[in-house]
Amino acid sequence: MPSVTRHLFFFLLVAASAVAGTACGSSPEPYAPGLGEMMSLQQMRHTKLWFAGQAENWDMAAYEIDELEEGFDDVVKFHPTHKDSPVAPKDAIPKMVTEPLKDLRAAAGRKDARAFVQAYEGLTAACNNCHQATNISFNRVQTPTGNPYTNQVFVLPR
């Protein structure tokens, strides 16, 4: 009798595992960060870009410009539309931020601090215009007035 019980237990265990495996076999939706999470990262990059430019750390500025571009690409990919926005992020972002980012890249490439400030102001205005177009005008960005990243050195060693 114990052998029959063991076999029955083993059979039930295998059957339960197969049923559980089938139920769990459907692949869950991959994680996609929310638009707010993604834009918080964009805000961080916007801030770091400013301090890199102010320190004339052009390699860091170019890096942050790349990161901003990738972040905007991700927003368009994962959040092509947003709630009841009259203008979809997939339409607004490429039209509004592409040129300001090109201007920033050019200024950083030339190591031109004055052109960088002007291009940065252009990007900041573009961000606010995009927020306006997508009904998020309550969220306005500005040139940073203080460095929240006190654990990062923006100035290159001399």
Q: How confident is the model at residue 4 (pLDDT cuts 50, 70, 90)?
A: low
- What is the distance between the alpha carbons of residues 62 and 142, in angstroms, rounded to a whole number? 20
* Helix, coil or strand: residue 157: coil
Exposed, middle or buried by CB within 10 Å (0-12, 13-18, 19+), for 91?
middle
pTM over cut 0.85:
no
CA angle 97, 43, 32 (to 5 degrees): 85
**Per-residue pLDDT at 104:** 98
Of 144, 158, 145, 157, which Cα lies nearest the Cα of 64?
144
**Per-residue pLDDT at 27:** 75
The residue-averaged pLDDT of 1-19 equals 57
The residue-averaged pLDDT of 105-129 equals 98
The residue-averaged pLDDT of 118-137 equals 97
User: Is the model's pLDDT at 18 over the cut of 90?
Assistant: no
DSSP 72-126: HHHHHHH-SS-TT-SS-HHHHHHHHHHHHHHHHHHHHHHT-HHHHHHHHHHHHHH
- Mean pLDDT computed over every residue of the chain: 90
**Per-residue pLDDT at 158:** 85
**Per-residue pLDDT at 44:** 98
**Per-residue pLDDT at 94:** 96
pLDDT tens profile 48-82: 999 999 999 999 999 999 999 999 999 999 999 99
What are 97-104's contacts with CB under 8 Å, separation 24+? 97/68, 97/72, 97/123, 97/126, 97/127, 97/130, 99/126, 100/125, 100/126, 101/65, 101/68, 101/69, 101/72, 104/49, 104/61, 104/65
